[in-house]
Chains A and B, each alone.
Chain A
Amino acid sequence: SQKIEQNSEALNIQEGKTATLTCNYTNYSPAYLQWYRQDPGRGPVFLLLIRENEKEKRKERLKVTFDTTLKQSLFHITASQPADSATYLCALDLGSWGKLQFGAGTQVVVTP
């Protein structure tokens, strides 16, 4: 299976700044790469999906890039707000009946 690496240390950021999270994977590139948000004790919530033939995807204040050469995805939260504080999970769709393999997640803490 793939090895998926996300920043293990929490990202502390000031309100209004841009948070950038990294997801690196090994082996083959997935058909899709997805980002989820998870709050403590809750289920993951889908944020964005990017396909292997797409370089960038945006949704409101969120932006995802996908570099299949580097085997890396970057996730950006612009104009961050305290409500953005959560753990953000990278997930690879392995192209097998929608089976997802998740990274360990990066915790983001946005302070006023």
Chain B
Amino acid sequence: EPEVTQTPSHQVTQMGQEVILRCVPISNHLYFYWYRQILGQKVEFLVSFYNNEISEKSEIFDDQFSVERPDGSNFTLKIRSTKLEDSAMYFCASIYDNEQFFGPGTRLTVL
């Protein structure tokens, strides 16, 4: 069964460093998403992406964040200058017939 994959599973970085989180959505899906979940808190929407552009973004998704689909398979989330409060699980998702398929997540730890 096709699935969304994410790499790395765990990323540790120093505050102020740039990180890129990678996702490979399911191949025939057209809409892609990033969500995050701070430990013990709700899953929060960050951004949706369709046809190579952002469809919608949340207040969390400020100028430090960007997304890109550099080729036909990868979908990336970049945080330019990480802050301590960016520490969270980041989930990529893609959608088909209103069902969202989530990846296993990347745990980002900012020290």
List chain A positions with a Cβ less than 8 A from chain B: 32, 34, 36, 38, 41-46, 49, 89, 91, 93, 96-105
| Secondary structure call for the B interface | strand
A89 with B99: CB separation less than 8 A:
no
Please measure, in the bound complex, the distance between the C-alpha atom of A98 and the C-alpha atom of B98, giving whole angstroms: 7
> Can you list 8 pairs linking A and B with CB atoms under 8 Å apart?
A34-B98, A41-B105, A42-B105, A43-B104, A44-B102, A45-B102, A99-B45, A99-B56
Measured between C-beta atoms, what is the minimum distance from A35 to chain B in Å?
A: 11
Please measure, in the bound complex, the distance between the C-alpha atom of A43 and the C-alpha atom of B43, giving whole angstroms: 10
Task: Indicate the size class of the contact surface on chain B.
Answer: 20 to 34
B31 with A102: CB separation less than 8 A:
no
A-B contacts, CB under 8 A, total: 61
- Kindly list chain A residues whose C-beta atoms are within 8 Å of the C-beta of B105: 41-43
A42 with B104: CB separation less than 8 A:
yes
Residue in B closest to A38 when the chains form the complex, CB atoms: B43
Query: Is B17 engaged at the interface, CB distance under 8 Å to the other chain?
Result: no
Residue in B closest to A48 when the chains form the complex, CB atoms: B99
Residue in A closest to B101 when the chains form the complex, CB atoms: A46
- Kindly list chain A residues whose C-beta atoms are within 8 Å of the C-beta of B103: 43
- Kindly list chain B residues whose C-beta atoms are within 8 Å of the C-beta of A41: 89, 105, 107
Measured between C-beta atoms, what is the minimum distance from B36 to chain A in Å?
A: 11
Query: Is B95 engaged at the interface, CB distance under 8 Å to the other chain?
Result: yes
A89 with B43: CB separation less than 8 A:
yes
- Kindly list chain A residues whose C-beta atoms are within 8 Å of the C-beta of B75: none
Measured between C-beta atoms, what is the minimum distance from A14 to chain B in Å?
A: 27
Please measure, in the bound complex, the distance between the C-alpha atom of A49 and the C-alpha atom of B98, giving whole angstroms: 8
